[in-house]
Amino acid sequence: MKILTTLLELRSARRTLPGPVGFVPTMGYLHAGHISLVQAARAECASVAASIFVNPTQFGPNEDLARYPRDLPRDLALLEAAGVDLVWTPKVEGMYPSGFQTWVEVEGLTRPLEGGTRPGHFRGVTTVVAKLFNAVGPDKAYFGQKDAQQAAVVRRMTKDLDFPIEIVVCPTLREADGLAMSSRNTFLNPEERQAATVLFLALSAAKSAYDSGEHAAEKLRALVREAVNAEPLARLQYVSCADYDTLEELEAVRGKSLLSMAAYVGKTRLIDNFVIG
Ligand code: PAF
């Protein structure tokens, strides 16, 4: 596995990779969810590239950039064991040299949900993903369904800017008790870790109501609110029942829809979602 830091090194190594090339962008501190993206890429592509870059521009001023967990040696060992051919680990000053002032911004899709509570977040994501796509030049790129809005926004950007890249969205991987895997789960103390299952339980309650015939979106949102309010360590930030493609809030679930939420458990902000309809 080649490990590269500069754009020049990356470009020359990229030329030697047989295509199609699958790409898994990450911010490191990898878990089984990331490895499942690598496995999907491995199954579909002749070569697999990954990146590890904790992107400062997608963190707000009061967010957890400084304490975002990092363990590069462990990440590299996991990627090598999963069969990655090339890893790019750019430096912040390489990605954002002094004088940097060009941004990629998707408009409507980034306004609700995560965009409503994390101003500027998606501008940072789309800018860095566009730079990563330009640098790596993959045929396919792999994202997790857990960040459903991110996947929708990246899909839109890829289409709008004519990147010749297929965006593949892979299922959310969960712990045995249903908690969606996330690098941020490591911030939870044992009590919070137990309380954090409330996200999965709340979404499951709404999904089983939907499966039993409840299609009113507000009823489904109310079930999520009720479940989270019953957990003293959790504080709901938003719950949404929206059209899967446009992310517009629904009155009733008719077609493919996204039931999504963000909640604080202690000081840790977690997100999760289910696709229904
Ligand atoms: O999902 C992530 O880990 C990040 O948002 C991404 C796509 C690697 C961009 O920094």
The protein residue with its alpha carbon nearest to ligand 1, atom 1, reads: 26
Name the residue of 57, 106, 110, 129 to mutate for ligand 1: max ligand atoms within 8 A of Cβ. 129
Q: What is the pLDDT of residues 157-168, one digit of tens each?
A: 999 999 999 999
Report the distance separating Cα 53 and Cα 25, nearest Å.
8
Question: Which positions are annotated as active-site residues?
Answer: 34
Ligand 1 site, residue 259, Cβ cutoff 6 A: no
Domain extents for the chain? 2-170, 183-276
Q: How far is CA 178 from CA 197, 246, 271, in A?
A: 6, 27, 13
Architecture of domain 2-170: 3-Layer(aba) Sandwich (3.40)
Other residues' Cβ atoms within 10 Å of the Cβ of residue 105: 13
What integer is the mean pLDDT of 73-80? 98
Instruction: Return d(Cα 241, Cα 257) in angstroms, integer.
Output: 7
Number of Cα atoms under 13 Å in the Cβ half of residue 260? 23
Residue with CA at minimum distance from ligand 1 atom 2 = 26
- Residue position matching structure tokens 């912040």: 92
Largest CA distance in the chain: 56
Q: Mind listing the pLDDT tens digit for each residue in 101-140? A: 999 999 999 999 999 999 999 999 999 999 999 999 999 9
Domain pair 2-170 / 183-276, same fold: no
**CATH fold for domain 183-276:** Pantoate--beta-alanine Ligase; Chain: A,domain 2 (3.30.1300)
Residues counted in the chain? 277
- Indicate if ligand 1 lies below 6 Å from the C-beta of 144: no
Neighbours of 25 (CB within 10 A): 24
Q: What pTM value is reported for the model?
A: 0.97
Calpha distance 273→6 (Å, rounded): 36
Torsions phi, psi of 154, nearest 5?
A: -65, -40
